[in-house]
């Protein structure tokens, strides 16, 4: 009987520890628009374990971003995931971007993207649903810089649209 109680206790503690690996679900997306150069760059930070779980649930593949982040297939999956959940429009023109790279910093995976600006209208619309399909509690912080001017928005699932005028 003691063995069953001990086993039950260990299972409950193990599940509890896994459920509380991080108590909040937040990503950060920063968009830097360089109007003189007509370019922009994007940085996205997500909890690594959440990004792994989202990729696994959508693309039916196991990834270990701590060990496999530099692999081409993993970068392709991350890029595919990000471009399907992040849309940037300047003026009324949807912007395209490419993946520059990714890195793990502590518990987060940072993704870096860049593109050429196709409009100089100072209206930026962001659709950011990163991890929304995976976590109901997800909140995405969005910071947009037009040259040196910064504006921010908090998007809580299911709200994914933010508009910025500079």
Give domain limits for the chain: 24-165
Q: What is the Cα–Cα distance from 47 to 41, expressed in whole angstroms?
A: 20
Q: What is the Cα–Cα distance from 43 to 31, expressed in whole angstroms?
A: 7
Over residues 89-116, the pLDDT tens digits come to 999 999 999 999 999 999 999 999 999 9
Residue with tokens 């039950």: 8
Residue 53 reports pLDDT greater than 90? yes
Interhelix angle 72-85/48-59, nearest 10 degrees: 90
Residue 13 reports pLDDT greater than 60? no
Over residues 126-152, the pLDDT tens digits come to 999 999 998 999 999 999 999 999 999
Which residues are bridge partners to 113 per DSSP?
42, 99
pLDDT score, position 6: 36
Q: What is the Cα–Cα distance from 78 to 139, expressed in whole angstroms?
A: 19
pLDDT score, position 7: 35
Q: Averaged over 148-163, what is the pLDDT?
A: 98
- CB distance 74 to 59 below 8 Å: no
- CB distance 130 to 82 below 8 Å: yes
pLDDT score, position 18: 44
């Amino acid at each position: 009987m003691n063995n069953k109680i001990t086993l039950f206790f260990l299972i409950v503690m193990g599940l509890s520890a896994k459920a509380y690996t991080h108590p909040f679900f937040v990503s950060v997306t920063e968009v830097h628009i360089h109007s003189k150069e007509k370019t922009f760059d994007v940085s996205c930070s997500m909890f690594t374990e959440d990004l792994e779980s989202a990729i696994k649930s959508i693309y039916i593949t196991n990834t270990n971003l701590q060990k496999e982040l530099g692999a081409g297939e993993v970068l392709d999956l991350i890029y595919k995931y990000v471009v399907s959940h992040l849309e940037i429009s300047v003026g009324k023109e949807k912007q395209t971007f490419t993946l520059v790279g990714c890195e793990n910093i502590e518990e987060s995976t940072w993704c870096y993207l860049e593109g050429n600006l196709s409009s100089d209208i100072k209206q930026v619309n962001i659709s950011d649903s990163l991890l929304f399909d995976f976590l109901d509690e997800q909140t995405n912080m969005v910071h947009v810089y037009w040259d040196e001017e910064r504006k921010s928005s908090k998007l809580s699932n299911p709200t994914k649209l933010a508009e910025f005028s500079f």
